[in-house]
Amino acid sequence: MADKTVAILGATGVVGTQMIQCLEERNFPVGKLVPLASARSVGKTVSFNGEDVPVVEATPEAFEGADIVLGAAGDATAKALLPEAAKRGAVCVDNSHAFRLEPDVPLVIPEINAADIANHPRNIIANPNCATIIGLVPTWPLHKLAGLRRLIVSTYHVANGGEMGDTSPFAYQLAANLIPQIGSFKDEGYTSEEWKMQNEGRKIMHLPEVRVNCTCVRVPVMRSHSESITAEFDRPISPVEAREALAAAPGVKVVDDPANLRYPMPLDTSDQDLVYVGRIRRDLSAPDGVNSLTFWCCGDQIRKGAATNAVQIAEYLL
């Protein structure tokens, strides 16, 4: 397999740095790495395979010769620069929100809809929101088993680099507190983050009618998002069947032994790529009692929720 020229847009940020680490770990065939960032980062270097690689200013011309671009920049930068990279022949895998809901841009979690990667007419493929990825990786195998109709989700988002005692990244102090707002408030009193689970989930799973009720909460934890999910299905599904399906599913690790106090937690799921699932149980509030399950999952929002998912998509492009 021929080595590729891979550019990282936003290479000095948290997700960009993790993308470079994932490329190393997964032995991606990088012939040349081009780390791109703003002008103020020029003069810095990033480490890749034991070498210090100089950071290049992110301009349209900087994408010349790139085969694959991994985007780890904000929406405005992505909108301005990734079409320029695509125009020059690179295929871009973008972690921003800029292109996710565009009809001609595939939105991909490889464990769910890898087949969509092949059809990228604009040379752009979108990486979903981190909480969407962490919640859907374990939901998808259950959908294949019983047909998903509805999700009720509460997410427990980590601080994402913000200081817990400092109110500047958040509306309020996060230490010793919970903040039930992530993003700005939109239609029906839901936040932008809460709408992502519904809108992105429908597109990824090709389930335009699935209904999602989501509440996103910022919690004083430094790494790995957690989610409580109740899923309603077309057909009966038992906790035993669900555990068996999840144990066989890619990207999932079942940790579900309440008798021995074993269940997923952020401390155990940080700095790795699986979504841990546990607390799998019948939904006692369901009218029929058998078509609905509740479970708990945790996953690293920087790795599987962002960088690793993007690198996995790039692997399919090979």
Q: Compute the Cα dihedral for 259, 286, 192, 118 and give only its sign.
A: positive
Q: Shortest CA distance to 42 belongs to which of 67, 20, 59? A: 59
Contact 201, 150 (CB under 8 A): no
Of residues 22, 225, 297, 298, which has the active-site annotation? 225
Tokens standing for 289? 């009692």
Q: Is 298 a residue of the active site?
A: no
Q: Is 214 a residue of the active site?
A: no
Parallel, antiparallel, or unpaired for β 225-233 and 148-157? antiparallel
Of residues 22, 92, 130, 214, which has the active-site annotation? 130
Q: Shortest CA distance to 145 belongs to which of 226, 243, 258? A: 243
Tokens standing for 268? 């155990």
- Which distant-in-sequence residues (6+ apart) come within 8 Å of 143 by Cβ? 205, 207, 233
Report the chain's C-alpha Rg in angstroms.
Answer: 20
Q: What residues are labeled active site?
A: 130, 225
